[in-house]
């Protein structure tokens, strides 16, 4: 059997697996409790389970695409490798000085972020380029011997090499790195210009250091993953999803693990964008609520928003990533009362072990999931399709303790309702702020929830922010894994130019774009899984002379004329700011290229048309913020296209629960998506 693809997303609480069989149109999904000590174990167990459920063998798989947050967690928790930094003489303080900004302008006692590399492991080298690429200082053999000796004394596991202005001539920095590598064959050395040759020394230094920081950890994980999958009979190539929404082969991911740090959230956004596909709805806000946190992103006409300015663990990252914003709590977020007697939700999470109190694994702190259980939103008997029973009495006891600390006696139900309101208010505040910063109005968007808790909380959040339409995909709880299964191969390339846009500048731009295109095609050939003709997306960062920051504009091909580039800036500037300055000189910043290659299609979901609104399978009492209601309960597997439901209602499936509050209705489209609409 050909074309059988698997997507995997490892979360803090569950590992999601999706298997697509194009031959017969099946798309299967499975949730496996995560194993934080060794995430590859849950991956192998979940993969074996879903392959067996499909009636296949591991050898039938064509590809396995895997998203992971191991690198991100290592940066956040500062548990990466012991690394060193080799930097141009006089720039030893590049990480400490940074952008000379205080963590808070209003807190005179705020401490600075600890630099990723301490000063005693930063080695200066007499190597330097000028701003135009001229070789100002070239290290001799004695200088290289000294640097190698200091790196040996630092006892580092990996090191980054950063030469001033190396973006102008990456070959020079790569040459210095190669000469050091000859002296230190056992040390992993990487050139910053090889990782990301873009202007701004601090940010480029951080990219190189972060890549070195997580590389040993990620290589170890990738080796264990490959070994475990081979052990259960998987012979298909393994791909890793990237922060830009695409994927890359395992060797490429091991060499550049920094490109994978935000891969999980990006996969879900790309799946949602494909759900829109430029049709209706065409303006989406994705809402990914898992066990630990909730994230949102914006997509218009099937195209998600990208950014090259984000932060991970408080450190700036200039690599292109899908623009995802963390907005609040997840299903495992802990409900607690602070010293002032205020009810709080998160940021601590119970994770997968011990998990919420209801899991019965020794957890004692109630979570959002315990609140869903106590209010009747979820049924303890059908959680994970009945494979994992929940202890409602334990949840009630834990939340009664919260109520007591609030002075509410032992009214755990009141504490649960209040906790859900607190979590919703926090998420709504961040969602409104995120959209307002983009000049977007919530009412004009459709919310697409996914993750285990996303469909459960979606209508509550939409009601709070003023969104009137929610679309719940059939495989919402494993949506990021679905996005991984359908991820195209993609990699971004960049090279800073820093010169005026005249005929010579345009010629230099064309030269660099052609070089980037050649590198992109060579990279794609090494991945070995693309189908069809790849798409090349060209763009450039431009600005009017005197402006502080560039505006990224798309370019029509690899050989633009100066007038075409200028018009691209004028049009983009006018669209954003309402005017164009045709008299101002224009400066070229960074040339960019993304190569995208399809790896195969995921079978579209479809359900037969129904013959009328189905009857509920049962009814149960649900406690919401407005009071207790009697909700009809439906099995999602029994819903058909054109079926219509009226809230209050609950739709259950084996990996999530959809709440339809009073004042909302729901209908099913031919693809099986559940559309929740707020009634006038």
pLDDT at 410 over 70: yes
The pLDDT, as a whole number, for residue 31 is 85
Six token digits for residue 401:
């303790």
pLDDT at 330 over 50: yes
The pLDDT, as a whole number, for residue 316 is 85
Contact between 650 and 663 under an 8 Å Cβ cutoff? The reply is no
**Lowest-pLDDT choice from 35-39, 374-378, 503-507:** 35-39
Q: Kindly report, as residue ranges, where domains of CATH 3.30.1490 are found in the chain.
A: 489-597
The pLDDT, as a whole number, for residue 529 is 66
The pLDDT, as a whole number, for residue 647 is 81
Q: What is the CATH number of domain 489-597?
A: 3.30.1490
- pTM of the prediction? 0.84
List, for residues 113-132, the tens digit of each pLDDT value.
788 899 999 999 999 999 98
pLDDT at 245 over 60: yes
Residue 431: name the closest of 330, 314, 301, 326 by CA: 326
Distance between CA atoms of 302 and 249, rounded to whole angstroms?
25
Contact between 610 and 642 under an 8 Å Cβ cutoff? The reply is yes
The pLDDT, as a whole number, for residue 12 is 67
Strand blocks (E) in 402-468: 446-450
List, for residues 173-186, the tens digit of each pLDDT value.
999 999 999 999 99
The pLDDT, as a whole number, for residue 452 is 82
Q: Coil, strand or helix: which one is 539? A: strand
Confidence band of 508 (pLDDT split at 50, 70, 90): very high
The pLDDT, as a whole number, for residue 402 is 93
The pLDDT, as a whole number, for residue 1 is 52
The pLDDT, as a whole number, for residue 278 is 42
Contact between 224 and 40 under an 8 Å Cβ cutoff? The reply is yes
Six token digits for residue 282:
């065409």
pLDDT at 386 over 70: no
Choose from 99-103, 302-306, 378-382, 412-416 the range with maximum mean pLDDT. Answer: 412-416
Instruction: Note the residue count of the chain.
Output: 680
Average pLDDT over residues 611-625: 86
pLDDT at 353 over 80: no
pLDDT at 502 over 90: yes
> Measured between alpha carbons, how far apart are the two ends of the chain, in Å?
50
Percentage above 90 pLDDT, the chain? 56
Average pLDDT over residues 357-372: 90
Task: Considering only CA atoms, give the Rg of the chain.
Answer: 26
List, for residues 423-450, the tens digit of each pLDDT value.
999 999 989 988 888 788 899 999 999 9
- Angle CA 190–196–200, to nearest 5: 110
Distance between CA atoms of 480 and 547, rounded to whole angstroms?
39
Distance between CA atoms of 430 and 325, rounded to whole angstroms?
9
List, for residues 35-44, the tens digit of each pLDDT value.
888 899 999 9
List, for residues 541-590, the tens digit of each pLDDT value.
999 998 988 999 999 988 999 999 999 999 999 988 889 999 999 999 99
Confidence band of 103 (pLDDT split at 50, 70, 90): low
Q: What is the CATH number of domain 5-75+218-260?
A: 3.30.420.40
List, for residues 209-243, the tens digit of each pLDDT value.
999 999 999 999 999 999 999 999 999 999 999 99
Higher pLDDT, 602 or 131: 131
The pLDDT, as a whole number, for residue 530 is 59
The pLDDT, as a whole number, for residue 352 is 65
Six token digits for residue 255:
């060499």
Cα-to-chain-centroid distance, residue 522: 26
Average pLDDT over residues 345-360: 82
Contact between 295 and 264 under an 8 Å Cβ cutoff? The reply is no
Q: What is the mean pLDDT of the chain?
A: 89
The pLDDT, as a whole number, for residue 304 is 83
List, for residues 76-102, the tens digit of each pLDDT value.
778 899 999 999 999 999 998 888 777
Phi, psi of 280 (to 5 degrees): -105, 135
Q: Residue 204: how many CA atoms within 13 Å on its side-chain side?
A: 26
Q: Kindly report, as residue ranges, where domains of CATH 3.30.420.40 are found in the chain.
A: 5-75+218-260
Query: Residue 312: beta bridge partners?
Result: 315
- Angle CA 484–488–490, to nearest 5: 110
pLDDT at 109 over 90: no
**195-223 burial by CB neighbour count: b if 16+ within 10 A, else e?**
bbbbbebbbbbbbbbbbbbbbbbbbebbe
The pLDDT, as a whole number, for residue 398 is 94
Distance between CA atoms of 50 and 414, rounded to whole angstroms?
40
């Amino acid at each position: 059997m050909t074309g059988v693809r698997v997507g995997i997303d490892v979360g803090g609480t569950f590992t999601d697996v999706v298997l697509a069989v194009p031959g017969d149109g099946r798309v299967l999904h499975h949730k496996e409790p995560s194993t934080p000590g060794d995430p590859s174990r849950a991956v192998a167990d979940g993969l074996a389970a879903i392959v067996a459920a499909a009636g296949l063998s591991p050898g039938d798989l064509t590809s396995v695409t895997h998203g992971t947050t191991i690198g991100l967690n290592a940066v956040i928790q500062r548990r990466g490798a012991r690394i060193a930094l080799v930097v141009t003489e006089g720039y030893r303080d590049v990480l400490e000085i940074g952008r000379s900004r205080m963590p808070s302008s209003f807190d005179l006692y705020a401490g600075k972020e600890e630099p990723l590399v301490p000063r005693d492991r930063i080695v200066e080298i007499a190597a330097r380029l000028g701003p135009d690429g001229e070789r100002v200082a070239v290290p001799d053999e004695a200088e290289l011997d000294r640097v190698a000796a200091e790196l040996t004394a630092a006892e580092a596991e990996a090191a980054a090499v950063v030469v001033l202005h190396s973006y102008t001539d990456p070959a020079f920095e790569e040459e210095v790195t190669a000469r050091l590598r000859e002296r230190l064959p056992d040390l992993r050395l990487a050139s910053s210009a090889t990782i990301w040759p873009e202007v701004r020394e601090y940010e480029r230094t951080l990219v190189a250091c972060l890549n070195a920081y997580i590389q040993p950890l990620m290589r170890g994980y990738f080796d264990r993953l490959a070994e475990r999958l081979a052990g259960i009979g998987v012979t298909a190539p393994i791909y890793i999803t990237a922060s830009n929404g695409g994927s890359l082969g395992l060797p490429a991911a091991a060499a550049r693990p920094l490109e994978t740090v935000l891969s999980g959230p990006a996969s879900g956004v790309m799946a949602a964008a494909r759900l829109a596909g430029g049709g209706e709805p065409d303006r989406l806000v994705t809402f990914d609520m898992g066990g630990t946190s909730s994230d949102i992103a914006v997509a218009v006409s099937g195209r998600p928003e990208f950014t090259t300015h984000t932060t991970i663990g408080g450190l700036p990252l200039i690599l292109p990533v899908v623009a995802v914003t963390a907005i609040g709590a997840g299903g495992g977020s802990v409900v607690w009362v602070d010293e002032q007697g205020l009810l709080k939700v998160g940021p601590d999470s119970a994770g997968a072990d011990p998990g919420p109190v209801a899991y019965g694994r020794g957890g004692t702190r109630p979570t959002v999931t315990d609140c869903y259980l106590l209010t009747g939103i979820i049924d303890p008997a059908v959680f994970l399709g009945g494979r994992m029973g929940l202890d409602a009495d334990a949840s009630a006891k834990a939340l009664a303790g919260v109520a007591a600390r609030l002075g509410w006696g032992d009214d755990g139900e009141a504490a649960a309702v209040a906790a859900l309101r607190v979590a919703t208010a926090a998420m709504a505040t961040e969602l409104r702020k995120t959209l307002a910063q983009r000049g977007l109005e919530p009412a004009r968007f459709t919310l697409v929830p996914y993750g285990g808790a996303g469909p459960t909380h979606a209508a509550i959040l939409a009601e709070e922010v003023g969104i009137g339409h929610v679309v719940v995909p059939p495989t919402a709880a494993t949506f990021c894994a679905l996005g991984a299964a359908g991820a195209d191969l993609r990699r971004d390339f960049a090279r800073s130019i820093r010169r005026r846009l005249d005929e010579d500048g345009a010629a230099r731009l064309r030269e660099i774009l052609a070089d980037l295109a050649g590198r992109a095609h060579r990279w794609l050939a090494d991945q070995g899984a693309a189908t069809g003709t790849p798409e090349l997306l060209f763009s450039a960062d431009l600005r009017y002379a005197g402006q502080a920051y560039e505006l990224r504009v798309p370019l029509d091909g690899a050989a633009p004329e100066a007038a075409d580039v200028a018009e691209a800036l004028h049009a983009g500037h006018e669209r954003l700011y309402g005017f164009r300055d045709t008299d101002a000189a224009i400066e070229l910043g960074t040339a960019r290229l993304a190569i995208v290659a399809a790896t195969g299609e995921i079978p579209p979901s479809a359900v037969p048309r129904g013959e009328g609104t189905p009857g509920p399978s049962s009814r149960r009492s649900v406690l919401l913020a407005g009071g207790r209601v009697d909700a009809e309960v439906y099995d999602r597997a029994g819903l058909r296209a054109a079926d219509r439901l009226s809230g209050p209602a609950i739709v259950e499936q084996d990996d999530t629960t959809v709440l339809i509050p009073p004042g909302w209705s729901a209908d099913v489209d031919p693809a099986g998506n559940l559309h929740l609409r707020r009634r006038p």
